[in-house]
């Protein structure tokens, strides 16, 4: 099961050290967690419209609105065609996030990596899977599969003897919780030029 933290809905920190321009800097951490609980608890019982969710949550403010937005953006909650909000099961969530759909990761995932982009591509994917809450074994499995299925490993240019060895050498990216956007953008730029 993926772990789930309650990050700040604005700057995504998981502690009281917010970014300088964060809208919720100074907000007590229990209030941030409470906003998430107020959103998640009613949806755990059943899907609801936005107005039903707001009513069930009681007090509804910007913190609640942004927590809901973060959960939708991170694909933990789905808005159905009928406009109802539905909490994804852990299995649905893992399946949904296993294929990155946002740029620049979508290009990396779909096209595979090329010489000059390998390190940033692998870094970006590992950091992305860590960010969405997959465990290290799940992350390792998905990145190894991607290396093989995308043709990245067949293109060569790696010092490591196997895809598994390569991914294992990047475990520090997962453990340190590095961001993925900068590395993924750099990798996408190289891939777009070469493929």
Q: Tens digit of pLDDT per residue, the chain (195 long)?
A: 334 568 899 988 877 788 889 999 989 888 999 999 999 999 999 999 999 999 999 889 999 999 999 999 888 899 999 999 999 988 888 888 889 988 999 999 999 999 999 999 999 999 999 888 788 999 999 999 999 999 999 999 999 999 999 999 999 998 887 777 777 788 888 888 888
Token representation of residue 25: 């800097």
Query: Residue 45: its pLDDT value, please?
Result: 94
Q: State the pTM of this model.
A: 0.68
The reported pLDDT for the residue numbered 4 is: 53
Residue 15, preceding bond cis, omega within 30 degrees?
Answer: no
The Cβ of residue 127 has, within 10 Å, a number of other Cβ atoms equal to: 23
Q: Where in the chain is the domain with CATH 1.10.10.10?
A: 1-88
> Encoding tokens for residue 132?
């969405």
Q: How far apart are CA 119 and CA 110, in angstroms?
A: 17
The tokens of 16 are what? Answer: 């009281």
Candidates 123, 90, 78; CA nearest to 98 is 90
CATH fold group of domain 1-88:
Arc Repressor Mutant, subunit A (1.10.10)
Question: What's 75's DSSP letter?
Answer: T
Q: Where are the alpha helices (H) located in the chain, listed in sequence order?
A: 29-45, 50-57, 62-73, 90-97, 105-111, 118-131, 136-149, 163-169, 171-176, 181-194
Task: Please classify residue 30 by burial: count the beta carbons closer than 10 Å to its beta carbon, then call 0-12 exposed, 13-18 middle and 19+ buried.
Answer: exposed
Task: Specify the pLDDT at position 147.
Answer: 97
Q: Which residues pair with 77 in a beta bridge?
A: 87
- Nearest residue to 132 via CA among 4, 1, 22, 20: 4
C-alpha–C-alpha distance, residues 184 and 179, integer Å = 9
R_g of the chain computed on alpha carbons: 19
pLDDT value of position 146: 97
């Amino acid at each position: 099961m993926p772990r789930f933290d309650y990050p700040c809905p604005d700057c995504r920190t998981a502690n009281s050290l917010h970014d300088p321009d964060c809208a919720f800097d100074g907000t007590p951490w229990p209030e941030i967690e409470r906003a998430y609980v107020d959103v998640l608890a009613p949806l755990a019982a059943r899907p609801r419209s936005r107005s039903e969710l707001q009513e069930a949550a009681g007090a509804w403010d910007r913190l609640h609105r942004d927590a809901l937005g973060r959960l939708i953006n991170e694909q933990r909650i789905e808005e159905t065609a009928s406009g109802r909000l539905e909490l994804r099961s852990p299995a649905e969530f893992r399946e949904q996030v296993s294929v990155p759909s946002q740029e620049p990761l979508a290009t990396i995932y779909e096209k595979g990596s090329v010489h000059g982009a390998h390190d940033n591509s692998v870094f970006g994917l590992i950091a992305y899977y860590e960010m969405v809450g997959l465990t290290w074994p799940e992350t390792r499995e998905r990145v190894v599969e991607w290396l093989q299925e995308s043709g990245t490993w067949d293109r060569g240019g790696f010092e490591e003897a196997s895809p598994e060895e390569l991914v294992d050498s990047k475990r520090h990216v997962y453990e340190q919780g590095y961001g993925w956007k900068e590395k993924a953008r750099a990798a996408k730029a190289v891939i777009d030029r070469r493929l």
